[in-house]
A and B are shown apart, each in its own frame.
Chain A
Amino acid sequence: MNEQNDRELREFLKSHVPNVRDGLERDLWPDMLRRMERGARQVPWFDWALAGAVAAALLLFPRAIPVLFYHL
């Protein structure tokens, strides 16, 4: 009975869900190049986190600023 129900459901879906046009109609390489360009400009989240941590440390311990400059 279950198998029959499954078969009926499949047949019903196939006759009512339109087929997808799964052929690619244009070259996506230009989009890829744009994505790569955008990605290259993005700063990774851990760089922002590191910058935030350093800024917070300098605010909390201003005396560390000359030490930081010395090490830079």
Chain B
Amino acid sequence: MELLERFAAGEMDAFEALFRQFQAEVFGWVVRIVRERATAEDLTVEAFWKMYRAHARFDPAGNFAGWARRIATNLALDHLRRAKHEVPLEDDFPAPARPDASVQRETRERIALAFGELSPKLRVVATLALVEDVPHREIAEALGISESSVRVRSFRATRILREELKDLVANHERAK
């Protein structure tokens, strides 16, 4: 029997094999959304726990990576809903040292605040599309929505961020 069939049948060693095969991929996806390594680790484990419990509903002919990513994205979205306006952009990921550290820090705080203004649904799309450059098709698959919905969300998020950050963006352009 194939690995996915054995997983769907509830075999523990098949689940372990899939966990080991996909844990890095799921973590890598989640951390790009929540931007905190510890949280991303917890959410990765939680996502696999959900998959384990839902093994009987998994179609072995289907795409495990896509299914895993969809479950993990929903959990990340739930996390953002709970965390509301907390947008970590720096603690875990120190930026390269810049000459004017205090200005840089202030800029990043303003960006974090601006992202905090977005609803979780918009924030996920904004982070993945604008910061991470993930194609709209990939975001749509992970969120289980159409590409046009992703475009609409990206447009709305961009409009809000542009408004919140217009002075900083203008300064950035002038400094180039």
Contacts and interface: CB of A to CB of B under 8 A. Distances in A.
Interface of A: 5-6, 8-24, 27-29, 31-32, 35-36, 39
B23 A13 contact: no
User: SS class of chain A's interface: helix, strand, loop or mixed?
Assistant: helix
Contacts of A31: 41, 45
Nearest to A31: B45
Interface in B32-89: 32, 35, 37, 41, 44-46, 48-49, 52-53, 89
Contacts of B152: none
Interface string B1-41: 00000000000000010011001100110011001010001
Given A6-B162, A9-B165, A20-B32, 10 more contacts: A8-B169, A9-B158, A12-B172, A13-B111, A17-B89, A17-B131, A20-B93, A21-B31, A21-B37, A35-B45
B173 A29 contact: no
Interface of B: 16, 19-20, 23-24, 27-28, 31-32, 35, 37, 41, 44-46, 48-49, 52-53, 89-90, 92-95, 104, 107-108, 111, 130-131, 158, 161-162, 165, 168-169, 172-173
B interface majority secondary structure: helix
A23 B32 CA distance: 11
B49 A22 contact: no
Contacts of B44: 28
B32 to A, nearest CB: 6
Contacts, number: 88
Contacts of B48: 28, 32
B108 A17 contact: yes
Nearest to A17: B131
Contact of A35 (B27, B49, B162): B49
A32 B89 contact: no
Contacts of A19: 93
B49 A14 contact: no
Contacts of B28: 22-24
Contacts of A20: 31-32, 35, 92-93
